[in-house]
A and B are shown apart, each in its own frame.
Chain A
Amino acid sequence: MGYVLFLLIVILYMTPLIVTFAGSFMSSREVEKHYSVGGIQDDEFIDMNVIPEKVTLSQYAELLFESPVYLNMFWNSVKITVPIVIGQIAVSTLAAYAFTVLKFKGKERLFFLYIMVMLLPLQVTLMPNYMVADWLDITDTYLAIILPGIFNPFGVFLLRQFMKSIPDAYIEAAQIDGAGHGRIFCFIIVPMIKPGIAATAMLTLLDYWNLVDQAVIFIQDTQKQPLSLFLAQINSGETGLAFAGSCFYAAPMLLILLYGQEHLKQGIAITGIKG
């Protein structure tokens, strides 16, 4: 009985993906027939059909071959997210280590500031970000999104949680053996928190891959927009294309989740046992 209920929930959970995936293989005419309903009659309803009348790749053909625009927007997303993930990991791992080993007055207060900024909604930090982008004259470039992304305190917070769980004895033993901070960091800490790094990278990637607001505010040039923004602004007449675009855009993330899930689990596993 419990299993049946659970299976039902699982199916419900996957419905949006299944509907989108199925829709991406329908012709635009069929998609419009199912989704463009309404108007005057009240007894007409959207039909989330999951079995196409006729399977066609025409949506994908339009997306991938007929116009370079979409592929280019996909590439724009890559150009925004990859530097953020790499930069965020580099900066945050170093800072989290410093937070772990340094002992200075006001450390906890400084860390609290980091957490506070992390907790603020995007709408709060957008204005400061916008001001700085203006000072640095980087509006309408990806740097306006990438730089605040790299210095987002989220990574420092999460990675510090991982490092906390490493028993101090490891670091102390290495120090007694004469290892400096550089060696301890590279050969002890980083290998031990690899799962944590993977988890942080994955969560950062998911977050920025689907960004919308930052692109609306910083990127005016439509040529430079990421595909996530395009999907949010797509016209109602192009639902079929939106389905195909969504699947195309979500596919790399789904693959990463499938392979990274184990890291996500182990990664945060260490945080349970706090030192």
Chain B
Amino acid sequence: MKKMIFRNRNQLLPWLMLLGSFAGFCLFYLVPFVVSFFYSVVDHPIHGAFCGLQNYKELLRNPYFLRGLKNTVAFMAVSIPLNMVLSLIVALVIHNMKRYPKYFGLVFLIPLAIPSATSAFFWESFWGLHGTFNKFLSSYHINGFDWRNSEYGMIVMIIIFIWKNVGYNMALYMSGLSSIPKQYYAYADVEGAGIWWKFRNITWVYLTPTTFLVLIMTFVNSFKIFKEIYIITGEFPPEGLYVLQHYMNNMFLSLNYPKLAGAVYILTIAIALPVACLFRSERKLSKDLHD
């Protein structure tokens, strides 16, 4: 039905509409991205000779690169699911609030508006050797240490990440929640369904598309938290906090483009494969929902 109507339409205008975005997308992202592949197969950024996969081999043996990769994966494996669950809980609480949901919602959005440097400064003052957290501990006669540079550094970063991003996901979930027809809950109440049943069979089912969106945005934001991490830890963080972006930043600053380009491609492939699977399953799922 839809196809029949669209077929005979003048499609020139939509193509033009796409063209603007596509041209810019190619010029600023796609073309240089492809060009940078050539950097990854030469041994020197200027007048380099072709060296095949040498850079890739070296990268996969480079302890710094591997450490960054390991820490990045560990950070994401904990912080992404944790953030999604907490955001959903906060969204559910605020959604069901009778009074002032707007202002409570705003509270969780505040961290997005605070400049990165300011929140970094606050968290440094909180977790540092002379920080507020240790002050609290000392009142119980516990000797603190610099939490950022300890084995707990990763936990500190995860807390900062959660603090900053729960609001973002909460907003996405709240909109998903407000789109669920209220009658469904009313029917369930008539049938005498419990809270957990309603969540499993109504809320969670209807939030599926939102959850995909939240997952993608959390992934994007889990890279963005590097801005704060970098301000707090600087160029040379302790081992446990050295993430991939540190490695890339350092390669960029030392103008080592072949290594940087190699790292870019390895990371891109590492992201593309799971995301492609995710999208395939999403399309299947949404097809199943509609059939």
Binding site for B on A (CB under 8 A): 6, 10, 13-17, 19-20, 35, 37-38, 42-48, 91-92, 94-95, 97-99, 101-103, 110, 112-129, 131-132, 147-148, 150-151, 153-154, 156, 161, 168, 172, 175-176, 180-182, 185, 206-207, 210, 212-213, 217, 228, 231-234, 239, 242-243, 246, 249-250, 253-254, 256-258, 261-262, 264-274
Complex CA–CA separation, A38 to B116 (angstroms): 24
Q: Do the beta carbons of A271 and B209 come within 8 Å of each other?
A: yes
Complex CA–CA separation, A38 to B24 (angstroms): 50
> Which residues on A sit within 8 Å (CB–CB) of B275?
115-116, 119
> Which residues on A sit within 8 Å (CB–CB) of B210?
268, 271-272
Q: Which candidate, B55-63, B148-156, B266-274, is the interface stretch facing chain A?
A: B266-274
Asked whether A128 and B32 contact (CB < 8 A) given A14-B107, A120-B268, A228-B115, the answer is yes
Binding site for A on B (CB under 8 A): 2-3, 5-6, 9-11, 13-15, 17-18, 20-22, 24-25, 27-33, 35-36, 93, 102, 104-123, 125-126, 128-132, 134-135, 138, 143, 163, 171-172, 174-176, 178-180, 206-207, 209-210, 213, 216, 219-220, 223-224, 226-227, 231, 244-245, 248-249, 252, 257, 260-261, 264, 267-268, 271-272, 275-276, 279, 286
> What is the distance, in angstroms, from A190's C-beta to the closest C-beta of chain B?
12
- Tell me the interface secondary structure of chain A in the complex: helix
> Which residues on A sit within 8 Å (CB–CB) of B207?
272
Q: Do the beta carbons of A250 and B130 come within 8 Å of each other?
A: no
Q: Do the beta carbons of B138 and A43 come within 8 Å of each other?
A: yes
> What is the distance, in angstroms, from B118's C-beta to the closest C-beta of chain A?
4
Asked whether A172 and B252 contact (CB < 8 A) given A131-B36, A242-B117, A265-B171, the answer is no
Across the A-B interface, give the 8 residue pairs with the lowest CB-CB distance, nearest first. A272-B179, A151-B24, A128-B32, A95-B21, A268-B175, A98-B18, A121-B223, A45-B135
Asked whether A254 and B260 contact (CB < 8 A) given A121-B223, A123-B252, A264-B171, the answer is no
Nearest opposing residue in chain A for B121, CB measure: A242
Complex CA–CA separation, A16 to B132 (angstroms): 12
> Which residues on B sit within 8 Å (CB–CB) of A267?
175
